[in-house]
């Protein structure tokens, strides 16, 4: 069944769609940042949203409907969200001739807190990733991705219930900084010549050049956030994932700098793996274990020794790999949310892409976007609404309601016992809304 996005929008209260120009919403206030990582959230809060490309509008409005139901259930009329559309991506190119126009950037700077549905990123050419640009523009240095198993989800693991991970992925450096030049560019030629002349390093003339910056400052601020999260939320382990055996002065330094923060700033709360012999091989009560794993080993251990891992801290590229693998353990990217956090703003987003072949078909799973708003509410302190979203999604799966992407991962016997009904994107959101109202 095809999706009529305009009809869906008309049925959602509290949204302010773009109507030819940006004006402040008729009601509601913006989140006020009072210091690094400190903010005040008004009871009628304005949260921005970017529709996204491909299937973006379908999952965005499905998630907003669920979020509205959770807020109403949790707070009645005492709190609500005013959803303010900011035009970015394909829609912005049609209106402004630019996928990330200055007008939209200025509005996002005012709002600071927003949902971004998936945006198109070309492979091998074209415009630069808007996702990366937004993270860098607002210095959203931590990409946080929880991965938790919901009963009923398909999984390749024998014991998927042990999957309960939170991945902290550095968001502004590493190869995702986007510092690179094509092999036949004047810049690549100059860099090759410089390396030959100054350091005796010979690089083939047909080689593209990329630079991988990892700084002590960038590493330690996300390490600080991950360790603080682990301690405050009574997590068991923080594992630094890196390829420092080969890339000693970037990824190896990432591990060393993260350990330095743990040792200097959180010493009373942590114990290191090489200290466990002092405690009979056991982590002392009340302590968080800090250890590290080489990236390739980490990827296979997440399959073979899943329950040993808890909070994972990684540079950008490793974090990308491990979070996608982890999502595959609990049903795939369709159920994988993320939030990008900085000292002065935050951006919730699903992990998956734009899936253009499914555009308008009402097929894709909106769970990742729904759970991205759950994360946003949780970071804003609206935990009651966040809890209703989690309960709504979990109950929907427990009662046998799935979207097609999850049902097709099951064999015939699994479908027979688990699946009560296969729903489309909007119908799944309807079901979660119905469940939230009766919780």
Is residue 353 a known part of a binding site? yes
pLDDT digits (tens, 9 = 90+) for 306-327: 999 999 999 999 999 999 999 9
Active-site residue list: 176, 243, 296, 320
pLDDT digits (tens, 9 = 90+) for 71-87: 999 999 999 999 999 99
Query: Residue 283 class from Cβ within 10 Å (0-12 exposed, 13-18 middle, 19+ buried)?
Result: middle
309 and 399 in a single domain? The answer is: no
Residues of the chain with pLDDT > 90: what percent?
Answer: 81
238 and 207 in a single domain? The answer is: no
Q: What pLDDT is recorded for position 409?
A: 86
Residue 306 lies in a domain: yes
Is residue 358 a known part of a binding site? yes
Q: Which of 277, 300, 329 is the last residue of a domain?
A: 329
Q: What pLDDT is recorded for position 66?
A: 98
Q: What pLDDT is recorded for position 37?
A: 83
245 and 292 in a single domain? The answer is: yes
Is residue 145 a known part of a binding site? yes
Of the candidate ranges 156-165, 209-218, 389-398, the one whose mean pLDDT is the lowest: 156-165
396 and 349 in a single domain? The answer is: yes
CA-based nearest residue to 425, from 359, 376, 345? 359
Is residue 263 a known part of a binding site? no
Residue 118 lies in a domain: yes
DSSP calls for 278-313: GGTTSPPTTPEEEEEEEHHHHHHHHHHSGGG--EEE
The Cα–Cα gap between 132 and 124 comes to 15
The Cα–Cα gap between 346 and 144 comes to 11
Arithmetic mean of pLDDT, 121-133: 66
Global model pTM greater than 0.75: yes
265: CATH: 3.40.718.10
Domain that holds residue 184: 177-213
Q: What pLDDT is recorded for position 97?
A: 93
Q: Which of 277, 306, 329 is the last residue of a domain?
A: 329
Arithmetic mean of pLDDT, 371-397: 95
Q: 242: which strand partners?
A: 294
12 and 93 in a single domain? The answer is: yes
DSSP calls for 382-406: -HHHHHHHHHHHHHHHHTTEEEHHH
Number of domains the chain is built from: 3
Residue 127 has pLDDT above 60, yes or no: no
91 and 240 in a single domain? The answer is: no
The bridge status of strand 209-210 relative to strand 180-181 is: antiparallel
Residue 344 has pLDDT above 70, yes or no: yes
Under the banding of pLDDT at 50, 70 and 90, the label for residue 36 is: confident
Contact 13, 26 (CB under 8 A): no
Query: Residue 105 class from Cβ within 10 Å (0-12 exposed, 13-18 middle, 19+ buried)?
Result: middle
Query: How far from 87 is each of 99, 133, 138, 139, 404, CA to CA, in Å?
Result: 8, 15, 17, 20, 29
112 and 76 in a single domain? The answer is: yes
The Cα–Cα gap between 177 and 181 comes to 12
For the record, the structure tokens of 269 come out as 């709360």
Q: What pLDDT is recorded for position 411?
A: 84
Q: What pLDDT is recorded for position 152?
A: 86
Residue 153 has pLDDT above 60, yes or no: yes
Residue 89 lies in a domain: yes
Residue 227 has pLDDT above 80, yes or no: yes
Q: Which of 281, 304, 329 is the last residue of a domain?
A: 329
Residue 412 lies in a domain: yes
Under the banding of pLDDT at 50, 70 and 90, the label for residue 232 is: confident
41 and 121 in a single domain? The answer is: yes
Under the banding of pLDDT at 50, 70 and 90, the label for residue 351 is: confident
Residue 151 lies in a domain: no
Query: How far from 295 is each of 40, 280, 320, CA to CA, in Å?
Result: 39, 28, 11
| More confident: 131 or 116 | 116
46 and 140 in a single domain? The answer is: yes
15 and 126 in a single domain? The answer is: yes
Residue 122 has pLDDT above 80, yes or no: no
Among left, alpha and beta (phi > 0; psi -120 to 50; other), residue 9 is alpha
Residue 39 has pLDDT above 60, yes or no: yes
Arithmetic mean of pLDDT, 23-46: 94
Is residue 408 a known part of a binding site? yes
Contact 365, 405 (CB under 8 A): yes
257 and 316 in a single domain? The answer is: yes
Q: 311: which strand partners?
A: 166, 238
The Cα–Cα gap between 208 and 236 comes to 42
Residue 404 lies in a domain: yes
122 and 191 in a single domain? The answer is: no
For the record, the structure tokens of 108 come out as 């996002």
Residue 279 lies in a domain: yes
Is residue 352 a known part of a binding site? yes
């Amino acid at each position: 069944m095809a999706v009529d996005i305009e009809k869906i929008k008309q049925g959602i209260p509290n949204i302010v769609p773009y109507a030819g120009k940006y004006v402040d919403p008729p009601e509601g206030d913006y989140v006020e940042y009072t210091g690094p990582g400190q903010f005040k959230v008004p009871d009628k809060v304005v949260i921005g949203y970017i529709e996204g490309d491909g299937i973006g509008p379908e999952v965005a409005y499905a998630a907003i409907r669920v979020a509205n139901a959770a807020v109403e259930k949790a707070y009645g009329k005492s709190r609500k969200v005013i959803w303010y559309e900011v035009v970015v991506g394909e829609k912005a190119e049609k209106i402004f001739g630019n996928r990330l126009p200055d007008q939209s950037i200025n509005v996002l700077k005012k709002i600071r807190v927003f949902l971004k549905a998936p945006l198109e990123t070309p492979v091998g050419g074209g415009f630069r990733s808007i996702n990366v640009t937004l993270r860098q523009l607002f210095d959203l240095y931590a990409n946080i991705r929880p991965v938790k198993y919901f009963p009923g989800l398909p999984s390749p693991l024998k014991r998927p219930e042990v999957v309960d991970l939170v991945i902290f992925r550095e968001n502004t450096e590493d190869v995702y900084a986007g510092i690179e030049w094509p092999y036949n560019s004047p810049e690549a030629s100059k860099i090759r010549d410089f390396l030959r002349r100054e350091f005796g390093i010979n690089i083939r003339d047909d080689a593209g050049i990329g630079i991988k910056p990892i700084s002590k400052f960038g590493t330690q601020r996300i390490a600080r956030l991950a360790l603080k999260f682990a301690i405050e939320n009574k997590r068991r382990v923080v594992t630094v994932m890196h390829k420092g055996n080969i890339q000693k002065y970037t990824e190896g330094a990432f591990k060393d700098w993260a350990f330095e923060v743990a040792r200097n700033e959180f010493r009373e709360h942590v114990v290191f793996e090489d200290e466990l012999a002092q405690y009979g091989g056991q982590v002392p009560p009340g302590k968080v274990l800090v250890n590290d794993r080489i990236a390739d080993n980490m990827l296979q251990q997440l399959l073979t020794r899943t329950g040993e891992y808890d909070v994972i801290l990684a540079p950008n590229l490793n974090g990308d790999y491990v979070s996608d693998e982890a999502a595959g353990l609990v049903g795939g990217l369709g159920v994988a949310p993320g939030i990008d956090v900085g000292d002065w703003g935050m951006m919730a987003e699903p992990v998956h892409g734009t899936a253009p072949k499914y555009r308008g078909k009402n097929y894709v799973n909106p769970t990742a976007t729904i759970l991205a708003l759950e994360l946003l509410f949780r970071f804003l302190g609206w935990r009651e609404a966040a809890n209703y979203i989690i309960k709504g999604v979990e109950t929907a799966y427990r009662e046998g309601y799935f979207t097609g992407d999850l049902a097709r991962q099951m064999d015939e016997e699994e479908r027979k016992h688990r699946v009560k009904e296969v729903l489309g994107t909007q119908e799944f959101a309807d079901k979660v809304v119905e469940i939230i109202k009766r919780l």
